[in-house]
Chain A
């Protein structure tokens, strides 16, 4: 056995993937199943104790490559070519038993959603030590001791007892750390992190990220870190590999990739948040004012908005920022009348808007349009793009026939899509195109205000960037105002004129963009701002140090 004899002198290169080719069978609607290639001849090497970041948009094949290091293909994916040399042997040739021996022992996996990846029927500790016991790495007592030490290292609360809990009794951010402890517990050579912080709120993400980074450093484990967020991966990796459509784009040191990208695509990913937008002065009277609005679900049982007041100026953008549960989407529901406020008023053009949607005249409805986060469920799958965009024209302006079609074509032009799209169904569009159609539908009503609810958060960064630029252009052309709801501060910086920061149903900071983003900050805004990853090596350490100092100062 090569492994036991080389235990003392393991090869310097831990993982060497050569010309990896991965295929899957797809079932296109109404056609015969066919094989598609997900990964085209990708090669990579990883030295012991190093971290390689795999970055790319959806469909880049980054998770597929990461999982191939465990000889695993998810959902009918097959490794059809190449070699995967781990610890000096090709793991594609070791057979099912050999693969089982390396999984959980030499390579461990941290999933995006720890909440789903833990078995709800077993205690956390039993699951954390399972692989160590299975592979005979440690006795139960040793493994539990090690697990508790790892819980502590990952700054989990009550490290001695948290293992006695069940997955649903622990929060998402904590579960993600427990999963990291689970991966580290059997002291593997390599851990595959598959978007481990993507599902978390930004202020939680930074803690988990720091915990993962410390743990990697202290245990000298190597890692493949998969993410779509370049700023995140820049904090933890030694090298970064950029992938697109299953092909290698660029591979280099972290500094080189983020500071001196050699490929155009990498450059686009690096500069994705740089949008030119000059803050408009808060001049003139607001046309929509939210005054002291309080709203609750369940007949007043759960207060989700507390005494919120904001103003929106014509042709300007108010960004509402907050994490999940901050009440930012509820604010939109209160303004649109979907959730009538309990107290407070919404005034429009100097007169109060009816609280309930049903009581509002058509004209008021026309002036307030909305764009959703999930474009694919925001459009009726049984209607064509032409019908979807054309309906507001019919409904509000009574346009019919050729006149309507002309206007639909015009709108399609405005969202940079061709006339040919009018006959397509939503299912035939890409994610970005769907969101564009939703924008056109909102624009068709010629509204004064469009509420954008997390409109870019389901999209890949480059596509999202295109949508934001489009929104800014349209704002200039049509003089429409936006209420932009988001959790992403980078987006806010690029497009807002004024900002409202929300926390637990309250507006904690509100004003023009320059004012809100200039110190001195209140505690929450500071936390939020300092948690947004920046594309800067060493940002994570600085941010964590800043927070420690602050808590020491308090």
Chain B
């Protein structure tokens, strides 16, 4: 590990932090300054001017925008996400259990999808242009074209309704035994896996194929190495970075997919929480959840970039 590479990583992290701040501004601006009026939205068209004014005062809407932003940001940084307009509950304490649930669901999907995608990607490369490769790319075409709810409801229709092997609604609660919890998320996790699998597989295939077509693979072949050793010694060290990159980008994609899937399975996670409160126009909740989703997304992207930096021999061993 050398100095320039640490510097690069530090730069990338710093950039990520700057980006997070910029995103927080964007989310704040998006929810506060656009032509909608929060007070009006809450009280509806029939509200009296007096009621509106009171609410504005109560929400601090009469302060200049930047003051409201810093007030909000200060809260976020100290773990205070404010209170929900609709229920008056503390947002932070409602979010944490839901975040846990969402991460559990996404984690289950990732545990299945990541190894599966890499193995299938490798198979597609090994037998490229053969029937396996063709099937995989047809599957990829289908899956990028299917809306998440199509996959979700197909699973529900067959597995929950027709054959009744898994519950249609994924109820989880505090203190639920792990296995039971696992059984509850089988269907949503499967749906989520199907949503990201094809894309991840296709990108893995491309990344590995790119490495396999390098001249140094030919060199190894001409040294008489076995195909397996070529992959292990010569392709793998160069393919790690692009594959990690692919995985991270798809995990970020998975975070988005989770929103729709949670609604389908009525799963008590962040996604459903967000959608509910968008419909109710509960701005503080939307801001908080939006920021957390964006943060997860940005962090995964940073990890992807750092993986790429770490695996690049030119950066690891500078001249």
Contacts and interface: CB of A to CB of B under 8 A. Distances in A.
Given A113-B215, A166-B313, A169-B319, A119 B234 contact: yes
A400 interface: no
A318 interface: no
Contacts, number: 73
A121 B223 contact: no
Interface in A90-134: 99-105, 108-109, 111, 113, 116-122, 127, 130-131, 134
Interface residues of A, number: 30
Contacts of B237: 119, 121-122
B90 interface: no
A127 B219 CA distance: 10
A17 to B, nearest CB: 18
A469 interface: no
B40 to A, nearest CB: 53
Contact of A116 (B215, B222, B226, B317): B215
A143 interface: no
A168 B316 CA distance: 11
Contact of B216 (A72, A99, A117, A165): A117
A415 B149 CA distance: 64
Given A117-B219, A120-B313, A100 B226 contact: yes
B215 A120 contact: no
A40 interface: no
A118 B219 CA distance: 7
B175 interface: no
Contacts of A444: none
Given A70-B222, A100-B224, A109-B222, A120 B216 contact: yes
B313 A131 contact: no
B224 A131 contact: yes
B218 interface: yes
B313 A109 contact: no
B223 A72 contact: no
A389 to B, nearest CB: 38
A135 interface: yes
Residue of A105, A119, A166, A168 most packed against chain B (CB within 10 A): A119
Contacts of B180: none
A362 interface: no
B314 interface: yes
Contacts of B314: 120, 166, 168
Interface string B211-228: 000111011111111100
A382 interface: no
Size category of the B interface is 20 to 34
A168 B225 CA distance: 23
B225 A100 contact: yes
A403 to B, nearest CB: 50
B83 interface: no
A110 to B, nearest CB: 10
Given A119-B216, A168-B313, A168-B319, A134 B221 contact: no
A117 B215 contact: yes
A103 B221 contact: yes
A34 interface: no
A72 B319 contact: no
A166 B2 CA distance: 15
Contacts of B216: 116-120
Contacts of A113: 215
Contacts of A119: 216, 219-220, 234, 237-238
A111 B224 contact: no
Given A113-B215, A169-B319, A104 B234 contact: no
A103 B214 contact: no
Nearest to B234: A119
Contacts of A116: 214-216
B224 A105 contact: yes
Given A113-B215, A122-B237, A134-B225, A169 B220 contact: no
Contact of B222 (A104, A127, A135): A104
A124 to B, nearest CB: 11
A113 B219 CA distance: 11
A395 to B, nearest CB: 42
A323 to B, nearest CB: 21
A168 B216 CA distance: 13
B218 A120 contact: no
A278 interface: no
Given A121-B237, A131-B223, A74 B319 contact: no
A487 B91 CA distance: 71
A109 B218 CA distance: 10
B121 to A, nearest CB: 20
Contacts of B226: 100
Interface string B189-229: 00000000000000000000000001110111111111000
9 contacts: A103-B223, A111-B215, A116-B214, A117-B218, A121-B237, A127-B219, A130-B220, A168-B314, A168-B319
Interface of A: 70, 72, 74, 99-105, 108-109, 111, 113, 116-122, 127, 130-131, 134-135, 165-166, 168-169
Given A111-B215, A135-B224, 5 more contacts: A72-B221, A113-B215, A119-B237, A127-B219, A166-B314
Smallest CB-CB A-B distances: 7 pairs: A104-B223, A103-B224, A116-B215, A121-B237, A104-B224, A119-B216, A131-B223
Interface of B: 214-216, 218-226, 233-234, 237-238, 313-314, 317, 319
